[in-house]
Amino acid sequence: MKTIERLLLENKAWAQEHLAVDPGFLSKLAIERTCEIFWIGCSDSRVHADEITNSEPGRIFVHRNIANSVISTDINLLSALEYAVDELRVRHIVVCGHYECGGVRAALRKAHPGQSLLNKWLKHIKDTYRLHRAELDALATDRERQHRLVELNVIEQIHNLSQTSTIQRAWAGRQGPELHGWVYGLEDGIIREIAHLDAESPLDPLYEFDLGGGL
């Protein structure tokens, strides 16, 4: 059986199984829900927000990309962020990285000349390495460096979020949302919070917006 055919069959089985347990399952999903959480995660197929948090569908608004990155020129991410904050009015934003991340591992290698777009994306992770080079180079093994860079990358993305006008407007207007930096362990299945920012967190003035100017 072809892979795509199997996926379609599994979809039917999934729907039938859920309806057998709860006949109203799909009708409840069709009703618009208000999400309290915006999740920025990695595209890695092993890390699904609903599954690893044991959440029902509809509770978490999700955006995923390579290495859970928050990049100031990524219109896709910024549009999702604006919708989550201004329309859904989420209370929490989670940036969730994970150990054994292929994007982080790739950023530790020399760039491949034939991957021009991927190289541009991974450069942001390389920049994080450069900022923390002394700490990372002092670690004994490549695995330790990879794991620590996963953590530092998550922390960097939390700060990138705080430097957006969307977040700064929301913090000034409604004192939310809170920003959480999480790392998921593939080996033990546990999520650990390693960073947290909220409306009371100090910002580097270099990145503050002049909200009185209408930005």
Q: Using CA atoms, how far apart are residues 89 and 177, in angstroms rounded to an integer?
A: 8
Beta carbons of 71 and 77 less than 8 angstroms apart? yes
pTM of the model: 0.91
Sign of CA pseudo-dihedral 98, 103, 104, 105: positive
* Single-letter residue type at 197: L
* Single-letter residue type at 115: Q
Q: Using CA atoms, how far apart are residues 142 and 202, in angstroms rounded to an integer?
A: 34
Domain ranges of the chain: 1-31, 35-213
Q: Which fold has domain 35-213?
A: Beta-carbonic Anhydrase; Chain A (3.40.1050)
Q: Using CA atoms, how far apart are residues 174 and 169, in angstroms rounded to an integer?
A: 8
Q: Using CA atoms, how far apart are residues 18 and 28, in angstroms rounded to an integer?
A: 12
Three-state secondary structure call for residue 191: strand
Question: DSSP code of 149?
Answer: H
pLDDT digits (tens, 9 = 90+) for 26-52: 888 777 678 999 999 999 999 999 999
pLDDT digits (tens, 9 = 90+) for 182-212: 999 999 999 999 999 999 999 999 999 998 7
Residue 114 host element (H or E): none
Active site residues: 42, 44, 46, 98, 101
Q: Using CA atoms, how far apart are residues 194 and 151, in angstroms rounded to an integer?
A: 7
pLDDT, average across residues 43-64: 94
How many Å separate Cα 169 from the centre of its chain?
21
pLDDT digits (tens, 9 = 90+) for 120-170: 999 999 999 999 999 999 999 999 999 999 999 999 999 999 999 999 999
Q: Using CA atoms, how far apart are residues 141 and 125, in angstroms rounded to an integer?
A: 19
Pairing of strands 191-197, 178-184: antiparallel
Q: Using CA atoms, how far apart are residues 166 and 211, in angstroms rounded to an integer?
A: 10
Q: Using CA atoms, how far apart are residues 181 and 192, in angstroms rounded to an integer?
A: 8
Q: Using CA atoms, how far apart are residues 149 and 133, in angstroms rounded to an integer?
A: 10
Distances in Å between the alpha carbon of 64 and those of 46, 76, 130?
12, 10, 24
pLDDT band for 213, please (50, 70, 90 cuts): low
